[in-house]
Structure 1
Amino acid sequence: MLQRRHFIAASATLAAAAWLGLPALATAAAHEAPDALIRRLSTEVLEAVRGDTSIKSGDTTRITELVNRTILPHVNFRRMTAAAVGPAWRGATPEQQARLQDEFKQLLVRTYAGALTQVSDQSIVVRPLRAAAGDKDVLVRTEVHGRGDPVQLDYRLEKTPDGAWKIYNFNVLGVWLVDTYRSQFAQEVNARGVDGLIAALAARNQAGGK
């Protein structure tokens, strides 16, 4: 149980860093190195979460508002959802893809809403970036420092044509988020198809993400 709480707290920090940045950061992000972007977002968002009583109380509406306002500048959510759904994504209609993205986003928001209440004295250490100047796909490795041992927290980012970096996957304690959901979603798709997966996600979200 303790390890699970540690995992959730680290995931909450990641979710905040990836999604809950300030709106003014979008322009600056296009001119920053990927490790600099992660470092700045992590620091500023941790401070914002500590100072926002609504988020710390687990206010899903407040968190959702922040995600909706800031997710696109910092995350390639379409790529993340497509990777999690797997081969079935290519056969899905545009309407099904839109529903999958919406339900998957709600699932992640609800998953991390409760965890954000645990953010307190954590800090982020960004490890040296191992990438060449022309690389367009990089791994940014970080550690969450707080109570107990440091927690590994890694980001995969891609460089867009306009020069901005977007997150499309992340790793907490050696587990990649997209890989975890891909295996779960594949079982549902194999049993009930894409519409069955959408229905399962919707039901899970209505039940509070459990």
Structure 2
Amino acid sequence: MKTKRAFNTNLLSVVFITMALLISATVFATADEAKVKVKNVFSQVETSLIKLKKADTLTKNNIRDVLNQYLLPEVDTRYFTYKVLNKNMAKVPDDLKASFIAELSQQLINTYSNLLNKYNNEVINIGQSTLSKSGKIAMVDITIVGKNKTNKAVVKLLQSDELNWLFFDIEVEGISLLQTKQAEINASFNKLGVEGTLSHLQKINQKVIED
């Protein structure tokens, strides 16, 4: 009887250990997948920047075009916008939500563009990837190494319902784009209201295009 009980206990131990190993393997695989996503996107961006540099066409607008082509489709623009709007989300009418998503998405692209607009054949290195406790958010280190300066950033990705990794924030030298925009939008809502804030965002984005 004791032998049977011991056997069952050992069997349960084996099952639990196996499950733990499988879960652990899944977590590491997921972290690696987030890193691969970032590496693939920035590899395409870097290749395009090198071509622009060689052709002497490395303009702000061309850099934004590259980011709109390769980065924007990999951004969870809805999640980013809703996080930026935060408590102000309840004030936005349904018919204006798409406009806010479009304008704030361009703000995100503009931030990446500012990080790259002085590109001079720097090497974009993708570092380690770590997961949040929930496993739903990944943080991937990026280092842009130049001859005279090195910029460090952390890209944040969210796991979608389809188990894909999508960008939603970037920290440059410890400063979060999402949190910065959140503070700006909150102040703008208090001062300009919903439509005034949207108009302000549209004017900023238009000015960036024209510069």
- Per the normalisation by structure 2, the TM-score is 0.71
| 1:1-210 correspondence runs (5 A) | 33-52=33-52, 53=55, 56-59=58-61, 63-64=64-65, 67=68, 71-72=72-73, 74-110=74-110, 116-131=116-131, 135-208=135-208
Aligned counterparts of 2:150 and 2:123: Cα–Cα separation in 1: 10
The percentage of counterpart residues that share the same residue type is: 16
Aligned counterparts of 1:112 and 1:143: Cα–Cα separation in 2: 13
**Contact 1:55/1:63 (<8 A) preserved:** no
Structure number, greater radius of gyration: 2
Aligned counterparts of 2:187 and 2:197: Cα–Cα separation in 1: 9
SS at match of 1:207: helix
**Contact 1:49/1:55 (<8 A) preserved:** no
Tell me how far 1:177 sits from its aligned partner: 0.2
Pick closer, same or farther for the CA change 1:133–1:41 going to 2, 3 Å.
farther
SS at match of 2:162: coil
Tell me how far 1:95 sits from its aligned partner: 1.7
Tell me how far 1:80 sits from its aligned partner: 0.9
Structure number with the higher helix fraction is 2
Tell me how far 1:202 sits from its aligned partner: 1.7
Tell me how far 1:200 sits from its aligned partner: 1.1
- Per the normalisation by structure 1, the TM-score is 0.71
Gaps of 5+ in 1: 1-29
Structure of higher RCO (CA pairs closer than 8 Å, 6+ residues apart): 1
Tell me how far 1:137 sits from its aligned partner: 1.4
SS at match of 2:128: coil
Tell me how far 1:173 sits from its aligned partner: 0.6
Gaps of 5+ in 2: 1-29
Tell me how far 1:189 sits from its aligned partner: 0.2
Tell me how far 1:197 sits from its aligned partner: 0.6
**Contact 1:103/1:205 (<8 A) preserved:** yes
